[in-house]
């Protein structure tokens, strides 16, 4: 580690120790957030945004559940742990002031107990009263109550369905995370009849415009074009569906979209932000005239964006492409039979310009790239059945589209304050100093890899580049990701740490993100000299979007996790002795937590099933374990 890093970390440790000593014995009231592993982070009432959270060890969370309002006491450092004095404040829950929830969804176990679906709740909760017809293994809705000692309990109010059945599993997830259902037939018909509002448009139907999406995409809200200019530069066109023409502020479907905030994609179930019929009408379908809000960027041969302009356009997509066929073309030069001649001629030019843009951005912005795979369950939505698990890394075909969206979002994000138009920005704070230190200590202790201060983006990039390309790399990157702050929405264009950007807005997905739709509506009103909403007026929408996004992410994780475990159980029914490749992620007193990388799920293994003592096991070690030795 460089000397400057060591000095900075020592200063951070000294300040943390001073703050902890000052607050020892203090009692505070505020909100506790519970992590999946059982520990929590406490935020005092009226704490400023930059205030550090107080860590609550799992054994000191008491009977608190996620988002409860609690009273805590700051604990002194442990006498036998001198390292405590260099860490931030640690607390213990004294009292639950107010429960955050009135109910939850759980699976009925034997006896008078249920197992909550939400991993932020206790593993097992006692219940009482009538079962209301529920049987063991049913998903049930529980109304919360508390015992005299504050322990969470409850009673069954509704039976949702049998756990293990895909429809019931997804219904349970929707109920737990309070996701809205699909639009009614009446709403669909009403939305499909909407006539778009008019605005001056540039006719750009002569451009050769392409869409590149997943093969099973239903929404087409972005398209691309490229033109070479006489001076050797290029004009990259990023065309976004002009949703503001169809959804005006304060209208019925604007209010409904504001409530949903996002389209939600569960495995086997899509919950759109806008009615499906209207989405299809707005989407930029091939060989159809489409209303677009376009950004045209002038890019030089080094990939630097020199200038840009924005206008409402009329375009016609000449061909729809999917990521798989584009990737095959980029890798092997394979040209599908249905491609137009101009498609095969345009794509290499577009790809090279965008590659140069990414290289330039990498040098100038030093963005953080975590090459982690996505592991998701594939379902046939019509047949309501699981068809498999897909594990894939981001490929160049996806990165080409992503790079264009980043560029358009950045252009619009900078344009908003220039025009004195309020907007909603995507922000991502630097990692907290204490969490950076903890991550650095963990990596050094378990992997013998020097890390340093990951709150410095350059050092973080150097650390990622230095990782050996072995089985431990995905685990370390996952831990790094968890040590970082969560991105959110705000009305101020503050730092996006991972991207290395400020004044970064979301503009490119107005069909499925309400934040983007707000930006489109603001620009629409600005272009017509109509009144726009103030930043103060948009604050509530930004907060709601951040909270809803976190809830939807939780629902997606819960649904994928549940169905992955179902697939594993089916494999074990077929072959009880099946061996799974695992990676140790935690060493506990009674066993180990492991990850199954091929499924991206965590499980527990009791120490009686291990061939070696717990003291010899370390995080990152690889093990092959029989399925009947693993508890999911």
CB-side neighbour CA atoms (13 Å) of 402: 12
pLDDT digits (tens, 9 = 90+) for 55-87: 898 889 999 998 999 999 999 887 666 555 556
- Distance (Å, whole) CA 597 – CA 320: 34
Q: What is the per-residue pLDDT for 279? A: 95
Rg of the Cα atoms in the chain: 26
pLDDT at residue 16 is higher than 70: no
Q: Which two tokens stand for residue 358?
A: 């990414």
Q: What is the per-residue pLDDT for 85? A: 57
Q: What is the per-residue pLDDT for 103? A: 95
Beta-strand pair 69-74/488-490: unpaired
Q: Where are the beta strands (DSSP E) in 411-472?
A: 425-427
Q: What is the per-residue pLDDT for 392? A: 87
Question: With b meaning 16 or more CB within 10 Å and e meaning fewer, what string describes 557-585?
Answer: ebbbbbbbbbebeeebeeeeeeebebbbb
Which H or E run contains 15? helix 3-23
pLDDT at residue 434 is higher than 80: no
Topology of the domain comprising 575-629: OB fold (Dihydrolipoamide Acetyltransferase, E2P) (2.40.50)
Residue with tokens 């909100």: 31
Look at residues 612, 620, 619, 613 and name the one whose alpha carbon lies nearest to residue 587: 619
Q: What is the per-residue pLDDT for 82? A: 57
Architecture of domain 103-163: Beta Barrel (2.40)
pLDDT digits (tens, 9 = 90+) for 242-275: 999 999 999 999 999 999 999 999 998 999 999 9
Q: How confident is the model at residue 136 (pLDDT cuts 50, 70, 90)?
A: very high
Topology of the domain comprising 3-98: OB fold (Dihydrolipoamide Acetyltransferase, E2P) (2.40.50)
- Distance (Å, whole) CA 293 – CA 313: 6
- Distance (Å, whole) CA 379 – CA 405: 28
Q: How confident is the model at residue 1 (pLDDT cuts 50, 70, 90)?
A: very low
Q: How confident is the model at residue 21 (pLDDT cuts 50, 70, 90)?
A: low
Q: Where are the beta strands (DSSP E) in 109-263?
A: 113-116, 125-126, 138-146, 152-162, 202-203, 209-213, 222-228, 234-241
pLDDT at residue 515 is higher than 60: yes
Task: Tell me whether domains 103-163 and 575-629 share a fold.
Answer: yes
404 against 628, higher pLDDT: 404
Q: Is residue 275 classed exposed, middle or buried when 0-12, 13-18 and 19+ CB atoms within 10 A define those classes?
A: buried
Computed over every residue of the chain, the mean pLDDT equals: 91
Residue with tokens 């930029």: 284
pLDDT > 90: what percent of the chain?
Answer: 71
Q: Where are the domains of the chain?
A: 3-98, 103-163, 185-429+488-562, 433-484, 575-629
- Distance (Å, whole) CA 357 – CA 364: 10
Beta bridge partners of 603: 594
**pTM of the model as a whole:** 0.90
Q: How confident is the model at residue 282 (pLDDT cuts 50, 70, 90)?
A: very high
Mean pLDDT (whole number) for 616-629: 92
């Amino acid at each position: 580690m460089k000397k400057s890093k060591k000095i900075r970390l020592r200063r951070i440790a000294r300040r943390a120790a001073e703050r902890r000593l000052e607050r020892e014995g203090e009692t505070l009231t505020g909100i506790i957030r519970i992590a999946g592993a059982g520990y929590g982070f406490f935020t005092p009432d009226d704490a400023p945004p930059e205030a550090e959270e107080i860590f609550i060890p799992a054994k000191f969370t008491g009977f608190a559940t996620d988002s409860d309002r609690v009273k805590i006491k700051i604990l002194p450092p442990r006498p036998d742990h001198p390292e405590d004095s260099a860490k931030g404040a640690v607390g213990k829950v004294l009292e639950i002031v107010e429960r955050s929830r009135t109910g939850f969804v759980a699976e009925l176990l034997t006896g008078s107990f249920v197992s909550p679906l939400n991993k932020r709740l206790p593993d097992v909760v006692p219940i009482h009263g009538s079962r209301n017809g529920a049987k063991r293994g049913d998903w049930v809705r529980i109304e919360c109550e508390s015992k005299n000692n504050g322990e969470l309990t409850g009673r069954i109010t509704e039976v949702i369905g049998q756990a293990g059945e895909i429809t019931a599993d997804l219904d349970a997830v929707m109920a737990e995370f309070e996701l809205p259902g699909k639009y009614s037939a009446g709403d669909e018909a009403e939305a499909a009849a909407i006539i778009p509002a008019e605005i001056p448009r540039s006719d750009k139907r002569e451009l050769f415009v392409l869409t590149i999406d997943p093969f099973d995409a239903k929404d087409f809200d972005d398209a691309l074009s490229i033109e070479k200019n006489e001076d050797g530069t290029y004009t990259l066109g990023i065309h976004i569906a002009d949703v503001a023409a169809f959804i005006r502020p304060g209208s019925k479907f604007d209010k409904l979209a504001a409530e949903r905030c996002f389209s939600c994609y569960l495995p086997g179930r899509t919950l759109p932000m806008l009615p499906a019929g209207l989405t299809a009408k707005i989407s930029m379908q091939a060989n159809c005239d489409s209303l677009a809000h376009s950004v045209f960027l002038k890019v030089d041969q080094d990939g630097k964006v020199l200038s840009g302009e924005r206008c409402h356009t009329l375009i016609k997509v000449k061909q729809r492409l999917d990521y798989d066929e584009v990737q095959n073309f980029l890798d092997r030069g394979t040209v599908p039979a249905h491609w137009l001649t101009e498609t095969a001629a345009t794509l290499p030019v577009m790809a090279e310009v965008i590659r140069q843009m990414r290289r330039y951005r990498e040098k100038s912005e030093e963005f953080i790239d975590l090459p982690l795979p996505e592991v998701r369950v594939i379902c046939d939505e019509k047949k309501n059945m699981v068809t498999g698990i897909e594990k894939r890394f981001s490929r160049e075909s996806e990165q080409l589209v992503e790079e264009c969206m980043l560029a358009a979002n950045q252009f619009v994000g900078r344009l908003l304050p220039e025009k004195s138009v309020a907007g909603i920005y995507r922000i991502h704070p630097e990692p907290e100093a204490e969490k950076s230190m903890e991550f650095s200590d963990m990596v050094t202790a378990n992997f013998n890899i020097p890390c340093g201060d990951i709150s410095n983006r350059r050092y973080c990039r150097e650390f990622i580049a230095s990782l050996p390309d072995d089985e431990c790399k995905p685990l370390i990157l996952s831990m790094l990701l968890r040590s970082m702050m969560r991105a959110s929405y705000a009305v101020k264009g503050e730092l996006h740490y991972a991207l290395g950007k400020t004044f970064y807005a979301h503009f490119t997905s107005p069909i499925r993100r309400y934040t983007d739709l707000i930006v489109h509506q603001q620009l629409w009103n600005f272009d017509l000299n109509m009144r726009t909403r103030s930043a103060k007026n948009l604050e509530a929408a930004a907060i709601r979007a951040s909270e809803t996004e976190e809830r939807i992410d939780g629902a997606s994780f819960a649904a994928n996790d549940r169905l992955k475990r179902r697939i594993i159980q089916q494999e074990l029914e077929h072959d009880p002795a099946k061996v799974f490749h695992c990676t140790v992620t935690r060493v506990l007193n009674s066993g180990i937590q492991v990850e199954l990388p091929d499924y991206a799920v965590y499980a527990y293994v009791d120490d009686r099933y291990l061939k070696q003592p717990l003291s010899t096991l370390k995080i990152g070690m690889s093990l092959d374990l029989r399925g009947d030795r693993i508890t999911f």
